[in-house]
Amino acid sequence: MSEEELTKALGTIRSKLFDVRKKRIHPLKNDKILTDWNGLMIAAFAKAARVFDDENYTQIAIKAADFILSEMTGKDGKLLHRYREGEKSITANLDDYTFLIWGLLELYETTFNAKYLEKSLKLNEVTLKHFWDDKEGGFYFIPNYGEKLLIREKQIYDGATPSGNSAAVLNLLKLSRLTSNPDYEEKANMIVQFFAKQLYKTPYAYTQLLMGLDFALGPSFEVVIVGDLDEEDTNEMISALREDYIPNKVVLFKPEKNEEEITNIVEILKEYKTIDGKSTAYVCQEFVCKKPTNDIQIMLNQLREGEKEN
């Protein structure tokens, strides 16, 4: 049997089975929308969009992110956990915040829409204000304005989904590198220190936390691209950057025109300019930059050399 014949036969079989199954009582469907799970989905689709150069994936991530930001975020900047048929309820927990921040950071690096970086920073500030333990470090699972329980638990185990604290470590490290704010990196270090004994004892139970630790130990990079997204040389530079597997990096884009949208968020970007009017890359490690270049191969070599040096 040829592949075409097999595909046709299987299609007929599936159709017959479905017709029979429709006569049965349909199983209940869980159709509620959850902020935390959507955050993970946004991160996955945004990253897949970069890897596969798939605009459809980008639009899926954008649609989900815009929905959560408009429908599940209050005027005070606080999130809600659940949405179903127009009803919004349940105080958001740590996972809701950290997973959505994660998704927004990935979406920023896919679209370079400064709105998503700005929203991630605002949500991060809400998270620090209402979940952070000022005495010992680390994030509580429920906020200080939530239901009063006997114990405010801190979770770190990375199971089918990662813990909020583990996700927060990588979020804070990336936000620190994106905005040149060392306070965020210090917070990430405090989380790792608080859970260090557990991590040392059974590291395989905290895989997402280990990813954050790997980013912190390095080598990791900050890459700034200055150019015009409507120009071919800029898009070629961004594509080349995405083709090499260098997971421990953050990428900022500064447009030559209308730069205020990003420089109002990351003021230091005002100093970054193009060379000879061409798209230009700045490859940096721990805020120390190599010589800027508009040569794609030199940019990639700077990244590869940085990995070897460490």
pLDDT in tens, 101-152: 999 999 999 999 999 999 999 999 999 999 999 999 999 999 999 888 888 8
pLDDT digits (tens, 9 = 90+) for 266-290: 999 999 999 998 999 999 998 899 9
Nearest-angstrom CA–CA distance, 99 and 38: 8
Among candidate residues 217, 232, 250, the one where a domain is terminated: 217
Residues 191 and 115 in one domain: yes
What CATH number does residue 291 fall under? 3.40.30.10
Residues 159 and 259 in one domain: no
Residues 228 and 133 in one domain: no
What one-letter code names the amino acid at 108?
A: Y
Number of domains in the chain: 2
Asked if the model's pLDDT at residue 220 lies above 90, the reply is yes
Residues 226 and 212 in one domain: no
| Residue 174: closest CA among 187, 162, 163 | 187
| 18: in domain | no
Q: Please tell me the predicted confidence (pLDDT) of residue 182.
A: 94
Q: Please tell me the predicted confidence (pLDDT) of residue 167.
A: 98
| Residue 305: closest CA among 280, 285, 275, 279 | 285
Asked if the model's pLDDT at residue 72 lies above 90, the reply is yes
Asked if the model's pLDDT at residue 218 lies above 90, the reply is no
Residues 6+ away with beta carbon under 8 Å from 174: 105, 215, 250
Nearest-angstrom CA–CA distance, 197 and 232: 50
Q: Please tell me the predicted confidence (pLDDT) of residue 306.
A: 80
**Sheet of strand 33-34, all strands in order from the earlier edge strand to the far edge:** 33-34, 80-84, 87-91
- In which domain, by residue range, is 286 found? 221-309
| 115: in domain | yes
**Sheet of strand 221-227, all strands in order from the earlier edge strand to the far edge:** 249-255, 221-227, 280-285, 288-289
Average pLDDT rounded to a whole number, residues 174-199:
95
Cis previous bond, 219, omega within 30: yes
| 1: in domain | no
| 300: in domain | yes
| 4: in domain | no
Asked if the model's pLDDT at residue 308 lies above 80, the reply is no
Backbone φ and ψ for 302, nearest 5 degrees, come out as: -60, -40
Residues 59 and 193 in one domain: yes
Asked if the model's pLDDT at residue 305 lies above 90, the reply is no
Asked if the model's pLDDT at residue 309 lies above 70, the reply is no
Residues 43 and 132 in one domain: yes
| 189: in domain | yes
Does residue 228 contact residue 255 with C-beta atoms inside 8 Å? yes
Residues 93 and 128 in one domain: yes
Asked if the model's pLDDT at residue 261 lies above 90, the reply is yes
Residues 161 and 88 in one domain: yes
What CATH number does residue 41 fall under? 1.50.10.20
Residues 65 and 141 in one domain: yes
Does residue 121 contact residue 114 with C-beta atoms inside 8 Å? no
| Average pLDDT score over the chain | 94
pLDDT digits (tens, 9 = 90+) for 11-61: 999 999 999 999 999 888 899 999 999 999 999 999 999 999 999 999 999
Residues 179 and 295 in one domain: no
| 19: in domain | no
Q: Please tell me the predicted confidence (pLDDT) of residue 286.
A: 83
Percent of the chain with pLDDT over 70: 99
Among candidate residues 217, 232, 247, the one where a domain is terminated: 217
Residues 144 and 259 in one domain: no
Residues 52 and 197 in one domain: yes
| 12: in domain | no
Among candidate residues 200, 217, 234, the one where a domain is terminated: 217
Asked if the model's pLDDT at residue 310 lies above 90, the reply is no
